[in-house]
Structure 1
Amino acid sequence: MFILKQLRRKKNINQTDLAKAIGVSLRTIQLYEKKDANIPIKNLTKIAQYFDVSIAELYSHESVNETEMEYDATEQLGKGHTIAKLAPGKYLISAPLVLTEQYGKFSKLYPKKVFVHTLPRMGFIVDRVSVAQYMAFEISNDSMDDGSLKSIPFKSIVLGKLIPHEKLQGHIQNNPESPSILVYKGNVMCKVIGDYNRRNKTVVCKSLKDSPEYADFEIKIKEIEQLYTILGKQTAQI
């Protein structure tokens, strides 16, 4: 993230000063200042607070690198997200972020573009992009945290790609046991979608954590309001 170097120079501090301020090593700051850095949410928040900017502002200013070369940035008008080509096979998606406390509003107001454009943005580095709707979501509980590599812990933020409703059936069939963000009956939840029943056109929504409070449940595909396949995650862990 080249913007960190620019912010340091403006504040007249060095890498060691910044490392001490947010409680990490000098080597960590050196890694964070690379353009493809994947900074944990916990430390990203500390950095934003230290420089008195928002996380969204950190990513919105990441459009120019240290040699003043502009990235190939394209805003997806009407969709709320932006996509910047950083290098061959490297893209920065800055997507509107839906926090837990905004779940209710999101399910009701999503069709209104004004609402989406008022949301802060979160950045993710991905290898490929397509014409789609991208959103970022904060995870509201620990139902997807079983301690495995597939875990999506509480308070993580994930990048989701919206699957058009007419393609839901094919997507679910071709991506069994795929972790997704599901909007169903006005609720936003993170679940593994699988066990497609061709006859009844239903799927089973599962949690990774084995707990009675997170029991599996079956729903009809036609009742799914929105489904986002998860492309990436950032956790609050160091």
Structure 2
Amino acid sequence: MHIIKELRRKIGISQSKFAQEIGVSLRTVQLYERKEANIPMKNLKKIADFFDMTIPELYIYEFHDPQGSYRNRKPHTKHGNVFYPLDHGKYLAMSPLVLMEQQKEYIARVLTNTPSQNAFQTGFVLDYVDDSPYMAFEVTGDSMNNGTIDSIPNKCLVLGQELERSLFEKEVEPWLNKPYVLVCKNRILCKQVTTFNSEKNSVNCHNLNTSPEFQDFELALEDVLQIFKIVRRQF
């Protein structure tokens, strides 16, 4: 990434020192800056953290750099998301973001079928782009935080890919035991869906946090307005 060199020079750090900071060789940094080597996600995270940025912010800088290799690539917009083509078939998705304080307004818009007018966006790097709508949400509470790599803690930003409820009901097995954002008539939930009761047309919502205050519960799908499968998290 050409932008690594620019950011590094702005703070006056040499290639060798920067290599030490992120735990790679000098040669590796040189290859990264010349875009002659793919940057593994774990190293990309180290680079972004070093510059006090997120990975999407790093890509945005690179994409708008007049000397960068992305300058001739045009983003495309779909369902309110802007997708920037990256290397190796990946995309940077800039998606509408529903913050905690905007949840009631978002639900009201869904109920009245009013187009969302989200003032905020956030970015996620995707391996591919599906035709389904994407939406980002700020998670409320620690019910999905069990201290493991699968945790979704309070104020975590998640990117959800919308699933048709009819598809979810017909072919439920592939969708079980995965985390979802469930937009209901009176609240927005972040839960793991573990079982589906076809007779009651309901799902069991499971909390990863085993604290007694977080109890699993049954949720009727008739109360669910939208179902988003969580595909990315941002802490």
Pairwise same-fold verdict (TM > 0.5): yes
- In 2, the alpha carbon distance for the partners of 1:156 and 1:171 equals 29
Shift of 1:205: 0.9
Give the aligned partner of residue 166 of structure 2: 166
Shift of 1:165: 2.8
Seen in structure 2, the aligned counterparts of structure 1 residues 142 and 70 have a Cα distance that, compared at 3 Å, is same
Count how many residue pairs are aligned between Structure 1 and Structure 2.
Answer: 218
Shift of 1:43: 4.7
Note the residue ranges of structure 2 that are not aligned, 5 or more in a row: 24-28, 34-38
Shift of 1:113: 3.2
- Partner AA of 1:113 in structure 2: P
Is residue 16 of structure 2 the alignment partner of residue 27 of structure 1? no
- In 1, the alpha carbon distance for the partners of 2:102 and 2:50 equals 21
User: What is the TM-score normalised by the length of structure 1?
Assistant: 0.73
- In 2, the alpha carbon distance for the partners of 1:138 and 1:81 equals 17
**Cα displacement string for residues 96-128 of structure 1 (whole angstroms, at most 9, x for unaligned residues):** 222222222222235443513x22322x11212
What SS does the aligned partner of 1:180 have? strand
What SS does the aligned partner of 1:169 have? helix
- In 1, the alpha carbon distance for the partners of 2:188 and 2:234 equals 18
- Partner AA of 2:121 in structure 1: P
Shift of 1:133: 0.9
Q: Is the 8 A contact 2:140 2:154 kept in 1?
A: yes
Give the aligned partner of residue 115 of structure 2: 113
Q: Is the 8 A contact 2:75 2:82 kept in 1?
A: yes
Q: Which has the higher contact order (CA 8 A, sep 6+)?
A: 1
Moved more, 224-233 or 58-67: 58-67
Seen in structure 2, the aligned counterparts of structure 1 residues 61 and 45 have a Cα distance that, compared at 3 Å, is closer
Q: Is the 8 A contact 1:83 1:93 kept in 2?
A: yes
Give the aligned partner of residue 145 of structure 2: 145
Note the residue ranges of structure 1 that are not aligned, 5 or more in a row: 49-54
Q: Is the 8 A contact 1:56 1:120 kept in 2?
A: no
Q: Is the 8 A contact 1:172 1:194 kept in 2?
A: no
- In 1, the alpha carbon distance for the partners of 2:168 and 2:205 equals 14
- In 1, the alpha carbon distance for the partners of 2:121 and 2:5 equals 23
User: What does 1:27-106 align with in structure 2 at a 5 Å threshold?
Assistant: 27=22, 39=45, 43=49, 46-47=52-53, 60-64=60-64, 66-70=67-71, 72-77=73-78, 79-106=79-106
What SS does the aligned partner of 2:11 have? coil
User: What does 1:120-135 align with in structure 2 at a 5 Å threshold?
Assistant: 120-122=121-123, 124-135=124-135
- In 1, the alpha carbon distance for the partners of 2:5 and 2:170 equals 45
Shift of 1:56: 8.2
Which residue of 11, 14, 18 corresponds with 2:12? Answer: 14
Seen in structure 2, the aligned counterparts of structure 1 residues 57 and 26 have a Cα distance that, compared at 3 Å, is closer
Q: Is the 8 A contact 2:161 2:228 kept in 1?
A: yes
Shift of 1:210: 1.4
Seen in structure 2, the aligned counterparts of structure 1 residues 114 and 183 have a Cα distance that, compared at 3 Å, is closer
- Partner AA of 1:115 in structure 2: Q
Seen in structure 2, the aligned counterparts of structure 1 residues 104 and 177 have a Cα distance that, compared at 3 Å, is same
Give the aligned partner of residue 194 of structure 1: 194
Give the aligned partner of residue 51 of structure 1: none
Seen in structure 2, the aligned counterparts of structure 1 residues 139 and 44 have a Cα distance that, compared at 3 Å, is farther
- Percent sequence identity over matched residues? 30
Seen in structure 2, the aligned counterparts of structure 1 residues 71 and 205 have a Cα distance that, compared at 3 Å, is farther
